[in-house]
Amino acid sequence: MTQSSRDRAPADDAGRGRPGRRVPPRDVAAAEELLSSGRLSVEGRLVQASNATLYCSVDLDGLTGACVYKPVAGERPLWDFPDGTLAEREVAAYEVSKAMGWGTVPPTVHRDGPYGPGMVQLWVEPDPDIDLVALSRSDDDAIRRMAVFDAVVNNADRKIGHLLPPGDGHVYGCDHGVCFSVDYKLRTVLWQWRGKPLTSEALEALGRVDEGIRGGALGARLTELLTADEVDATRRRVELMLKHRIHPYPPEDWPAIPWPPL
């Protein structure tokens, strides 16, 4: 699945043209409040998604926006992840993104909705003039940050279509339901930095995550969303990256690139 206008049906204007202030993804506090407490109205479905993924408008006290809603009831069982846990993994990825300080993941919450509890994430409209294939192969700083983020959360499905560049130089990522496995499952199209030294910026972000997991709010929040073993595995991944100070290499016993890569 990708937050792409060509994949959703039928409404292209959910959250647009409605009275009130439209909340941008960088306004994290307002976006979290809107997503957590706003009125969700289903406008359509992202038809290429493997799980039930609904495109919604959301409104709250003069705030408005569009979002993706993935109810737990619409999750398809996976052989390598426990049933009914993908929504919480998406929220956990957002919490790690916040702790890193990079805003890699759009504001994301876990809440009840029209079809039961699930993940709700603010919609980010990618710039249609940006070539996602070229972006994924570039040495863009935002893409490099995403590669580090994916290594921390052990993302097993970073496709090109999961990149969301709104056109302001930032790049968001979506679809983090298959993250945080205790086994090394990093599968991504962003291997151009494998084995290369981590930047000082990356080391600082990893340090924030390490501190947050060990005794801060991040550790407490991840414990609510993941198993104890998954939280511990996340901490160990961060420790290894801080110790060796390089981007990780592909796994030897697991496909390194998702298929299809788009």
Residues 118 and 148 in one domain: no
Q: Does some domain include residue 49?
A: yes
- Name the pairing type of β-strands 63-71 and 21-22: parallel
Residues 163 and 218 in one domain: yes
**H/E segment holding residue 58:** strand 54-60
pLDDT of residue 133: 98
How many distinct structural domains can be found in the chain? 2
pLDDT of residue 1: 42
Across-strand partners of 73? Answer: none
Q: How many CB atoms lie within 10 A of CB 224?
A: 12
Residues 58 and 89 in one domain: yes
Residues 66 and 13 in one domain: yes
**Which of 122, 154, 171 is the C-terminal boundary of a domain?**
122
Q: Does some domain include residue 58?
A: yes
Q: Does some domain include residue 226?
A: yes
Q: Does some domain include residue 253?
A: no
Residues 157 and 190 in one domain: yes
Residues 65 and 88 in one domain: yes
Q: Does some domain include residue 34?
A: yes
Which residues have CB under 8 Å from 12's CB, separation 6+? Answer: 5
Q: Which domain holds residue 98?
A: 5-122
Q: Does some domain include residue 258?
A: no
Residues 104 and 149 in one domain: no
Distance CA 95, CA 73 (A): 23
pTM of the model: 0.93
- The structure tokens listed for 160 are 């090109």
Per residue in 149-198, pLDDT (tens digit) is 999 999 999 999 999 999 999 999 999 999 999 999 999 999 999 999 99
**H/E segment holding residue 231:** helix 228-244
Q: Does some domain include residue 170?
A: yes
User: Percent of the chain scored above 70 by pLDDT?
Assistant: 93
Q: Does some domain include residue 252?
A: no
